[in-house]
């Protein structure tokens, strides 16, 4: 055995959003049939070298169990699977770690008698998870629960003049996704008329100037910063970008000053579309995004800033978006973070759960949606915006 100890440990970041610091103190070289035993409070964990590879762990349902360890199969948000050995006395710490780091415990391994029981558990897990993986867990009522019930608009929700206001939000207990259930909104007309004027006011220029004057305190400023930072190597290239639901065009107007790209927006509200086109001199198309609006045109980047939650079937919508991307094209997408919002004392009345949101995401359900629509996730994260909104965002590549 040979030990190479570092005089100064190498420190690096791991975990979701690189929030955990790890110290690397060196290397241990084992020859065939040599073993190292790690000790902690009289608990033993052996690691051995064989001529065929490594004996990574003592028997899961034998020696580890006798040493007061439980063994779990765990998957992170990027689909990587890990074997984790947990002190029996520290299970709560382990569960908190998995929750904070957005890792999912698939199942416990040390309490199985044989391989057949493991196979049965894996089959049951797959059966339970398959609807969520396809972003169709609303069809599987077994795991849905009523989460919020509304008989009147919550405090702070714009008054859309609905008659007989009644709706609910249900939650999938498996993936954590929330569904807004009601028939109050006709999507085809709602975003063309009442939504924009009631939510944003009729004076588009005044709203635009108000957001601009917030500068670094606006959500949009932070959005542009992280967006340009991600694409910093491409900002001087000749790329084409489409912003779906461009609204009053704050995002596109900022990008125009920071890139050399060809920028296009599509917006269903006529006043907002005309404002972007006439006042800001941007290429804005009036209408809903669909397969006919850009028949022969494809884009290198498509952005969806708080759009997917307003659509009844975001999976169908994102599949259409994917077809409008060039080969190896990117999407940037933001959605409300329902998991974090629901854990707040005022969760029921928060903006994330208001009537115009048919979908409110968890990190797991957000990942499932992007994955099932054929996107490779380059970066995914959760943030608290300057406005106080809880938001999930992702940069993804078409595959």
User: How does DSSP classify residue 253?
Assistant: H
Asked whether residue 192 carries a pLDDT value surpassing 70, the answer given is no
Instruction: Please report, for residues 257, 312, 313, 323, 372, the alpha-carbon distance to residue 316 in angstroms, rounded to integers and kept in the order given.
Output: 33, 9, 6, 11, 11
Please give the pLDDT value at position 99: 83
Please give the pLDDT value at position 140: 80
Asked whether residue 324 carries a pLDDT value surpassing 70, the answer given is yes
Asked whether residue 329 carries a pLDDT value surpassing 90, the answer given is yes
CA distance 353 to 12: 38
Handedness of CA 293, 294, 296, 301 (dihedral sign): negative
Reported as type and span, the H/E element at residue 8 is strand 2-14
- Class of residue 139 by CB neighbours under 10 A (exposed 0-12, middle 13-18, buried 19+): exposed
Q: What are phi and psi of 92, to 5 degrees?
A: -60, -40
Q: What is the pLDDT of residues 115-142, one digit of tens each?
A: 898 898 888 888 878 889 899 999 888 8
Please give the pLDDT value at position 342: 97
Q: What are phi and psi of 393, to 5 degrees?
A: -140, 155
Q: What mean pLDDT is reported for the chain? A: 91
Asked whether residue 195 carries a pLDDT value surpassing 80, the answer given is no
Handedness of CA 99, 102, 104, 110 (dihedral sign): negative
Please give the pLDDT value at position 180: 97
Q: What is the pLDDT of residues 53-88, one digit of tens each?
A: 998 888 988 889 888 899 999 988 878 899 999 999
Residues 57, 64 contacting (CB under 8 angstroms): yes
Please give the domain boundaries of the chain with CATH numbers for all domains. Answer: 2-111 (no CATH), 153-398 (3.40.50.150)
């Amino acid at each position: 055995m040979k030990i190479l100890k570092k005089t100064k440990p190498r420190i690096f970041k791991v975990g979701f959003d690189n929030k955990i610091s790890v110290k690397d103190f060196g290397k241990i070289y084992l020859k065939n049939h040599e073993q190292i035993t790690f000790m902690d409070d009289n608990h033993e964990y052996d690691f051995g070298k064989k001529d065929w590879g490594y004996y990574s762990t003592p028997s899961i349902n034998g020696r580890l169990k006798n040493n007061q360890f439980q063994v779990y199969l765990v998957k992170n948000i990027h689909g990587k699977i890990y074997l984790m050995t947990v002190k029996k006395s520290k299970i709560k710490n382990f569960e908190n770690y998995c929750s904070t780091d957005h890792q999912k415990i698939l199942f416990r391994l040390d309490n199985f008698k044989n391989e057949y029981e493991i196979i049965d558990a894996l089959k049951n897990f797959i059966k339970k998870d398959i609807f969520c993986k396809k972003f169709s867990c609303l069809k599987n009522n077994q795991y849905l629960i009523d989460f919020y019930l509304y008989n009147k608009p919550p405090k702070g929700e714009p008054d859309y003049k609905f008659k007989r206001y009644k709706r609910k939000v249900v939650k999938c207990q498996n993936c954590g996704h929330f569904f807004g259930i009601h028939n109050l909104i006709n999507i085809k007309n709602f975003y063309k008329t009442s939504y924009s004027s009631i939510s944003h006011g009729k004076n588009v220029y005044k709203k635009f100037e108000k957001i601009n004057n917030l500068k670094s305190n606006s959500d949009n400023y932070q959005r542009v910063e992280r967006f340009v930072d991600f694409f910093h190597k491409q900002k001087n290239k000749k790329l084409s970008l489409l912003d779906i639901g461009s609204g009053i065009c704050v995002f596109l107007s900022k990008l125009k000053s920071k890139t050399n790209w060809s920028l296009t927006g599509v917006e269903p509200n006529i006043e907002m579309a005309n404002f972007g086109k006439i006042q800001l001199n941007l290429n804005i198309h009036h209408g809903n995004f669909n397969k006919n609006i850009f028949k022969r045109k494809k884009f290198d980047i498509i952005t969806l800033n708080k759009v997917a939650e307003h659509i009844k079937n975001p999976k169908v919508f994102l599949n259409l978006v994917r077809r409008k991307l060039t080969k190896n094209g990117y999407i940037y997408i933001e959605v409300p973070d329902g998991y974090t919002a629901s854990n707040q004392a005022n969760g029921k009345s928060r903006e994330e759960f208001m009537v115009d949101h048919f979908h409110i995401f968890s990190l797991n359900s957000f990942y499932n949606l992007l994955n099932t629509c054929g996107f490779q996730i380059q970066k995914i994260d959760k943030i608290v915006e300057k406005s106080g909104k809880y938001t999930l965002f992702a940069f993804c590549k078409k595959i």
